Amino acid sequence: MTPRERILAAIRHQPVDRIPTDLWATDEVLEQLYAHFGGTEPLLRPAKDGADGVARSSALIALYDQLGIDGIANVKPTYIGPPTVQEEDYRENEWGMGQQRQDYGTGAYWEWAHHPLAEAETIEDLRRYRWPSPDWYDYTTITQQAAAYPDRAVRCGYTAVFYFHNLLR
């Protein structure tokens, strides 16, 4: 089975040839694995738009192939909205949620550091907030991105119940 067939069969509760696998690791572990298996391009450069996201996912998928990991390719629309804060040690996304780079000696993590609705208490506070607009994205790139991974399950972005809600507050 291809990774796509395996993952989709598991989702449908159908028989699979083996349990589907995925790999979540810190950036420095992924970089070291990638280099160990011969990767030469920067693996974890920022994925600021759809094209960069495809390049990043392609490098991760190549690593997954070498490790026998099914993994899931990620696609997303290209962000074309207002500029966001992008500094060396601090960045914000289009929601205004900010991450601070936290060094710990042998690497660094991006920790959530700013929650734009943390002080919101009234409906008026919510009305004043600059909610992202669907018009801030170019959706025409998604089909082409997904087509780059015919043997992979594909997801668009990341979501979990209350994930963004928690980060906003």
For residues 162 and 18, which has the higher predicted lDDT (pLDDT)? 18
For residues 89 and 39, which has the higher predicted lDDT (pLDDT)? 89
The answer for residues whose C-beta is within 8 angstroms of residue 40's C-beta and 6 or more apart is none
Domain that holds residue 49: 1-81+134-158
Q: Is the pLDDT of residue 50 over 60?
A: no
Q: Are residues 27 and 44 in the same domain?
A: yes
Q: Does a structural domain hold residue 163?
A: no
Q: Are residues 24 and 76 in the same domain?
A: yes
**Which of 167, 31, 40 is CA-nearest to residue 107?**
31
Q: What pLDDT is attached to residue 27? A: 78
Q: Is the pLDDT of residue 56 over 80?
A: no
**Backbone dihedral angles phi then psi of residue 92, each to the nearest 5 degrees:** -125, 145
Q: Does a structural domain hold residue 168?
A: no
Q: Does a structural domain hold residue 56?
A: yes
Q: What pLDDT is attached to residue 76? A: 87
Counted domains in the chain: 2
